[in-house]
Structure 1
Amino acid sequence: MIFDRQTLLSDAQAITATGPSTNVIHLGPIKAGLTRDIGKGEPIPFLMQVVESFNNLTSLAVTIQTDDNEAFASPKSVITTTLNLADLKAGKIIPPSHVPRGTDEPYLRLLYTVTGTAPTTGKITAGFTAGVPSHG
């Protein structure tokens, strides 16, 4: 996959506890009186992929969040995907494969929520990409 550093949320980010993606993407300002939802219209490819297999945890939930400020004082959850440990193997592509509807605020990040014992291995790369393979 081809990633652009400016649109990368996690770059082989080790997930050892519940927390946000390393990076936050600023989608740009919204002019007064206008609304934006980058999930509408032509699909924007988005890839979240396990790049190192996980151990220990029971499950991992990955939530796409938006907010009107970079500190994520009042984040809005757009979509959450939960995977069990058995599915968190290197190469696994985590849905969704496109930015979902409801992605309508200026800042975007991921929130990783660990259930069970904290993993000591497990990494994810995620961000906008030129395209997403249909397998995984």
Structure 2
Amino acid sequence: MIIDERNEFADATALSTAGTGRALVGDVIDLGAVPGDIGNGEDLYLVIQVDTAVTSGGSATVAFELVSDEQAAIAADGSATVHFATGAIPKASLVAGYVAAAVKLPLGTYERYLGVIANVGTAALTAGKINAFLTPEVAKWQAYADAA
């Protein structure tokens, strides 16, 4: 899998432990003053992977969203354009190595700045880090035990 630093949102970036709600994770990608047709031509994939297990004192969930906005400080209040959302993932699933998303970028109109939002529900997190990036190829192989 090829990872370009300029297409990286988060590299072992900590999720917010400030409480429940929406927060921008890591960096944003500037698509330019007149965003092109991102994802047209060569396929691009969004990958979100847990780097360090997510923990919480309660039964927290996290939903991840790929969003775009006209401002670099992407709004976490729900006003940014949502292009993809995972739905709520329970903390028990968010262990190191878990792939929360490996999806082709949806076609559509993107605003200038692209980012990833984590929406924490039910209970605040106490720890957890993710990697999130765009890539033209996704490693989706799985190892299986030898046949008996």
TM-score > 0.5, shorter chain as reference: yes
1:105 is aligned to 111
2:145 aligned residue: none
TM-score, normalised relative to structure 1: 0.82
**CA deviation after TM superposition for structure 1 residue 130, in Å:** 4.5
CA distance 1:118–1:103, shift in 2 (3 Å): farther
Q: Give TM-score, length-normalised by structure 2.
A: 0.77
Q: Cα gap change, 1:48/1:103 in structure 2, threshold over 3 Å: closer, same or farther?
A: farther
Alignment of 1:84 with 2:84, yes or no, is no
> Which residue of 4, 20, 25 maps to 1:21?
25
Question: What amino acid is aligned across from residue 58 of structure 1 in structure 2?
Answer: A
Q: Which moved more, 1:36-45 or 1:13-22?
A: 36-45
Dislocated runs of 4+, deviation >4 Å = none
**Offset at 1:110?**
0.7
Shift of 1:135: 4.8
> Quick one: distance in 2 between partners of 1:53 and 1:80?
20
Q: Tell me whether 1:71 sits opposite 2:73 in the alignment.
A: yes
The question of 1:133 aligning with 2:139 is answered yes
Q: Unaligned stretches of 5+ in structure 2?
A: 143-148
Which AA in structure 2 matches 1:89?
V
> Is 1:40–1:100's contact at 8 Å kept on the other side of the alignment?
no
**SS where residue 118 of structure 2 aligns?**
strand
Unaligned ranges ≥5, structure 1 = none
In the superposition, relative to structure 1, how do residues 24 and 116 fare at CA in structure 2: closer, same or farther (>3 Å)? same
Q: Deviations over 1:84-127 (max 9, x none)?
A: 12211111112242222235222100111111222222110101
Relative to structure 1, the CA distance from residue 103 to residue 3 in structure 2 (aligned partners, 3 Å threshold; closer, same or farther) is farther
Deviations 1:3-32 (A, max 9, x none): 2221111111111344102201001221xx
- For residues 88 and 10 of structure 1, the distance between their equivalents in structure 2, rounded to whole angstroms, comes to 16
Q: Matched residues, percent identical?
A: 32
